[in-house]
Amino acid sequence: MPELPELEVVKEVLQRRAVGRTIEGVQSIGGGSAILVRSLTQQRLEEAVTGAQIAAIERRGKFLVFTLKPDVQDSHLYLAINPKLTGRLQLAQPAEKRLPKTHLVFSLSGGHQLRYVDQRTMGQLYLAADLSHVPDYAALGPEPFNVSPGEFRERLTPYRGEIKGVLTRGECIAGIGNAYADEILWAARLHPYRKRTALTSEEIDRLYAAMQSVLREATEKVRVEMGEAIHREPRDFMAVHMKSGEPCPRCGTPISLIGANQRITNLCRTCQPGGLIKGM
Ligand SMILES: [Zn+2]
């Protein structure tokens, strides 16, 4: 699942490669647009974006937002992409073989294609004139890099549950998902299942510092390892997430695994003591 560091780098690449281009056409493969695209305007995707210029691309939480300028003066439209667990964007040459589960192909002026690939068709693309109408978007909490330690503490206060669950709630803090929550909690030496209400003031400060450093360092590593291959998700550098059984980089204890499927939690039981044991 792309989270803040990956989407930040995808945004940077697309700002260089796609902003200023015109969308010359959209091809929907296997009913892709019908499954994935929710139009909050009266228009279908193909008619709305064909001929429009990509004026800007920004990231907000786990959304990528394209500002489109259709060929009508002063109007604009947003394409907000929430890739969820399995959605990816890819830049490709037209002749390049399509990856399996490519659902949408945007042909850009200058010859490149921007493709939307989604193994399980879980992502959502919203076409909207007003971003506040996009589900889950308007309620997003602040970006981790825009929040002070004091604001962070205040944001956490209404949430009383397990700290990992709190960190991954977009309306509390935007952009953190399952993988980076594991990394941040390991860096902060906090057990993911400790209740927010049980954390001391010093532990909340540690959590804040870990969130800043983990997300900044990960963004730098992803930038190097991803390059222009924005459909890839380099994560080998992670300390604990998806590292079950490997030695903890800090103490050597084998990394533990709790949970199953897409919601697995990895942690070091030596560095991150406490918490209720569940799902074993
Ligand atoms: Zn450890």
In angstroms, what is the span from residue 248 Cα to ligand 1's centroid?
A: 5
Mean pLDDT of 149-178: 96
> Can 2 be counted among the known catalytic residues?
yes
Distance CA 70, CA 176 (A): 33
> Can 263 be counted among the known catalytic residues?
yes
pLDDT-above-70 percentage for the chain: 96
Question: Nearest 5°: phi and psi at 65?
Answer: -115, 120
In angstroms, what is the span from residue 237 Cα to ligand 1's centroid?
A: 16
Indicate which residue of 59, 60, 62, 235 is catalytic: 62
In angstroms, what is the span from residue 78 Cα to ligand 1's centroid?
A: 44
Does pLDDT of 73 surpass 80?
A: no
> Residue 120 in contact with residue 36, Cβ under 8 Å?
no
Q: Would you state the pLDDT for residue 277? A: 52
Closest CA to 147 of 212, 199, 195: 212
Over the stretch 166-200, which tens digit does the pLDDT of each residue have? 999 999 999 999 999 999 999 999 999 999 999 99
In angstroms, what is the span from residue 149 Cα to ligand 1's centroid?
A: 26
Over the stretch 86-140, which tens digit does the pLDDT of each residue have? 999 999 999 999 999 999 999 999 999 999 999 999 999 999 999 999 999 999 9
Q: Would you state the pLDDT for residue 276? A: 57
Q: What is the pTM of this model?
A: 0.94
In angstroms, what is the span from residue 183 Cα to ligand 1's centroid?
A: 12
In angstroms, what is the span from residue 268 Cα to ligand 1's centroid?
A: 5
Residue 149: CB atoms within 10 Å: 13
Higher pLDDT, 88 or 76: 88
Q: pLDDT-derived band of residue 280, with 50, 70 and 90 as boundaries?
A: very low
Does pLDDT of 146 surpass 80?
A: yes
In angstroms, what is the span from residue 269 Cα to ligand 1's centroid?
A: 7
Beta bridge partners of 87: 118
Indicate which residue of 2, 5, 83, 234 is catalytic: 2
Whose tokens are 């499954």? That residue is: 35
In angstroms, what is the span from residue 29 Cα to ligand 1's centroid?
A: 46
> Can 62 be counted among the known catalytic residues?
yes
Indicate which residue of 16, 38, 263, 278 is catalytic: 263
Over the stretch 209-260, which tens digit does the pLDDT of each residue have? 999 999 999 999 999 999 999 999 999 999 999 999 999 999 999 999 998 6
Please give the DSSP secondary-structure letter assigned to residue 248: P
In angstroms, what is the span from residue 182 Cα to ligand 1's centroid?
A: 13
Q: Would you state the pLDDT for residue 35? A: 83
SS3 of 52-95: the string is: CEEEEEEEECCEEEEEEECCCCCCCEEEEEECCCCEEEEEECCC
Question: Across the chain, what does the average pLDDT equal?
Answer: 94
Higher pLDDT, 276 or 258: 258
Q: pLDDT-derived band of residue 261, with 50, 70 and 90 as boundaries?
A: low
The C-alpha angle 35, 37, 41, rounded to 5 degrees, equals 140
In angstroms, what is the span from residue 200 Cα to ligand 1's centroid?
A: 21
> Residue 89 in contact with residue 104, Cβ under 8 Å?
no
